[in-house]
Structure 1
């Protein structure tokens, strides 16, 4: 099954960069233009210059954000801003954060994992991807020859053996510590003991890994590997590009927070939404609730919780000052609208019902055209605000996916619709990374 390796991690040199909170950044896929600008201004050494640099009007095929990222990386290494660990290690990464008033700590193992084609079932995806994001990361690989941010993957530690071993390994002095201004904290330990590394390797070798976040990064790494070998089945031997950096997290980790991706519909003629109000009653029981403007987020959360174990949706924007709660009338009727080649696990997901029944069948938004009319958010209040501010017309609020659903879908060989999950918070880029040149 999964094959993991230690690696010579590259990270900021604490002797030169005193405040790591100013230099780490989110992964590329959540960096908006505004956030990118703020990160550039926060420090001349902010990792955004490598992870997701600015595009310029004069960019060409040979001078662009990727070549600039390479130049920055090389310069920082030469200046000693970035340092490389002499001894290979696996890295324990603790991420502490506050969510809805409660403190959490999520622990991961950052290491190299041997790339495997999907068909081997060693690495299992759970969600669909977009080609544009894959192309961006593939360009990064060709230019930088580095994994700048890790793929997040999940494993099972039902007997808590790895947890106990990591607790023991993390008792010493940490390699890196970061206290961020938003209350998040990071601590990283380098585990260099060959005995501990071997034990972790052997324990994880008996099971598959499940990609949680970073499907695009993994698929880009696969494409790069195939190209470097000349074919997917080349027998030329393993190279450093046959591995990808991952942070591995236990399915049962108490800090594993999975948020839903609520759908936001925009740009439709009002007549389409008027028709939708009537058409919904074909498939759903529709209950109307007067809007509680003093606590709309809590009201929506309570409505969603009433049907936690069944399809249960809340719509905002179809009727003034009213929330609509939708539950299925007849599953056997609704499943006729679902793609037959998907598993029943897939078909019963809230996101699948929304995408195939409401968006595709009732609104006529196909998989290819939906992107022009669709946006996503993991925050209920943000969804409500964007409807109120007329930035979007309709918010479709869904329940979060459970970790067990991710495993079940992946084990069945299926994938959830794209944007079904949001793992909170994202693993930052710039703590430790891997260069395979």
Structure 2
């Protein structure tokens, strides 16, 4: 099914550009204005100038963030700041990070993956996308003819054959890059050019379908770009980092919802919610109690997520929290969209969207997609502070979506509501660049 190929990726020459840790960034969609400025200042060759350049008041059709990115890209190649690999390669990439006091390592393969329309069933999405983000990424791709950050894909290899092959090949070999970023995340990259080894990985991958974990906008943008440039064969593939679903370092964190605007009285909302949910009031006055609340939510996941999972935290201000626990699954059968699969209808994010945001607050999927009424964060404390500081009216605290739910919904050809998953940590941008 999936077709992967090695490629001559562009990488920074540290002798000319400086230390790699000063040249890379997180993905553009988690970079705010302050972080953008910081990356601009840390090094004149930081990838921020390519991936997420500044907008200026004087921007026009001839001079804008996209044309400037293209100019930097051409210049850095001509000056040897960015150098192509001597021969086609795939890349073994590891990230080391801490979650809940545990040190974890996630292993992935950076390679080109043949673009496949979703309907072919080879590359499958799991989340809805927002049109404005795709327009931005398409403009950048048209200007530069490259993708600067890899799309995050998942494949299924219970025996970890591919990981073992590659890890054995680089055993006791120093990585081309090995550093810790400003967030304390470790990054290691090995360049693999052994043709026989690459062919083994290609053959094993031909048995796989790929689930998009992160980067839906960029994947759909690449599909669009390829359709517009049928003569550019290289544009028929996109750079991805592929991670095994059975990798012990694969982690999903929750994404909490902050309701910016609502005309519904909070007390009336709580009364209405009791039709579908058991509403329990909790008073918490410090971070420790908030952590305890999140632990209580997590208890409902059960082992493997088959226990009573449909539970949310609701914060309305003044140190007052509520747990909202679905009364029973019959409510799912009666009130969730009949045309959707059982897997989709049982998702926490789907139930929140349909039974609470839409039915109680009048916030439908189209309103959510507009991006003004619902904001998102993976930090429960931030969701709470946003209410206390008047930035939003209420916040819903979520359990993480389970990996098995992601793949089941995607296999059914369905998409989850936006921001259903947060695969942690994000892939870094700037280690390898794919030029079409």
TM-score normalised according to structure 2 size: 0.95
**Which residue in 2 is equivalent to 1:233?**
none
**Map of 1:286 onto structure 2:** 279
2:428 is paired with a residue of what secondary structure?
A: coil
Deviations 1:4-26 (A, max 9, x none): 00000101102123321111011
CA contact (8 A) 2:270 2:279 kept: no
Partner of 1:184 in structure 2?
Answer: 185
Give yes or no for contact 1:276–1:362 (8 Å, CA) kept in 2: yes
- The equivalent residue for 1:111 is 111
Q: What is the match of residue 240 of structure 1?
A: 234
Write the distance in 2 (CA, Å) between the matches of 1:3 and 1:37: 38
For the 8 Å contact 1:261–1:422, the answer to whether it is kept is: yes
Distance 2:195 2:41 in 1: 41
Contact 1:272 1:363 in 2 (8 A): no
CA shift for structure 1 position 89: 0.1
Displacement after TM superposition at 1:335 (Å)? 4.1
Contact 1:292 1:299 in 2 (8 A): no
Kept after mapping to 1: 8 A contact 2:262/2:361: no
Residue 395 of structure 2: SS of its match in structure 1?
Answer: strand
2:341 corresponds to: 343
Alignment of 1:262 onto 2:260: no
Q: Which moved more, 1:240-249 or 1:133-142?
A: 133-142
Q: For residues 333 and 177 of structure 1, what CA distance do their matches in structure 2 show?
A: 51
SS at match of 1:416: coil
Asked if 1:196 is matched to 2:194, the reply is no
Aligned partners of 1:110 and 1:248 also within 8 Å: yes
Secondary structure in structure 2 of the residue aligned to 1:15? helix
Question: How far did residue 367 of structure 1 move?
Answer: 1.8
2:304 counterpart residue number: none
**1:209 corresponds to which residue?**
210
1:329 equivalent among 323, 327, 330: 327
Match of 2:153 in 1: 153
SS at match of 1:364: coil
Q: Distance in 1 between matches of 2:347 and 2:428?
A: 29
CA deviation after TM superposition for structure 1 residue 350, in Å = 0.7
User: Paired residues, what number?
Assistant: 427
Aligned twin of 2:224: 223
**Alignment match, 1:354:** 352
Q: Which residue of 1 aligns with 2:10?
A: 10
What's the TM-score once normalised by structure 1's chain length?
0.94
CA distance in structure 2 between the aligned counterparts of 1:346 and 1:192, rounded to whole angstroms = 41
Question: Does the residue aligned with 2:158 lie in a helix, a strand or coil?
Answer: coil
Structure 2 alignment gaps of length 5 or more: 302-306
Q: Flag structure 1 segments of 5+ consecutive residues without an equivalent.
A: 230-235
Question: Secondary structure of the residue that 2:372 maps to in structure 1?
Answer: helix
Deviations 1:362-416 (A, max 9, x none): 0111222233221001111211222222222211011101111111111111111
8 Å Cα contact 1:2/1:123 also seen in 2: yes
Q: Is the 8 A contact 2:349 2:420 kept in 1?
A: yes
Which stretch shifts more, 44-53 or 326-335?
326-335
- Cα 1:390–1:335, aligned 2, differ >3 Å: closer, same or farther? farther
Instruction: Report the Cα offset of residue 287 of structure 1.
Output: 1.3
Contact 1:55 1:65 in 2 (8 A): yes
Q: Which moved more, 1:88-97 or 1:370-379?
A: 370-379
1:25-424 equivalence runs, <5 A = 25-171=25-171, 172-229=173-230, 239-269=233-263, 271-308=264-301, 309=307, 310-317=309-316, 320-370=318-368, 371-424=371-424
**In 1, distance between residues paired with 2:360 and 2:239?**
42
Q: How many Å separate the matches in 1 of 2:17 and 2:289?
A: 43
Between 177-186 and 125-134, the greater mean CA deviation after superposition: 177-186
Q: Deviations over 1:186-244 (max 9, x none)?
A: 11111000000000000010110110000011000011111122xxxxxx7x7110000
What is the CA-CA distance between 1:294 and the residue it aligns to?
4.7
Instruction: Tell me, in whole angstroms, the C-alpha distance in 1 between the residues paired with 2:404 and 2:103.
Output: 23
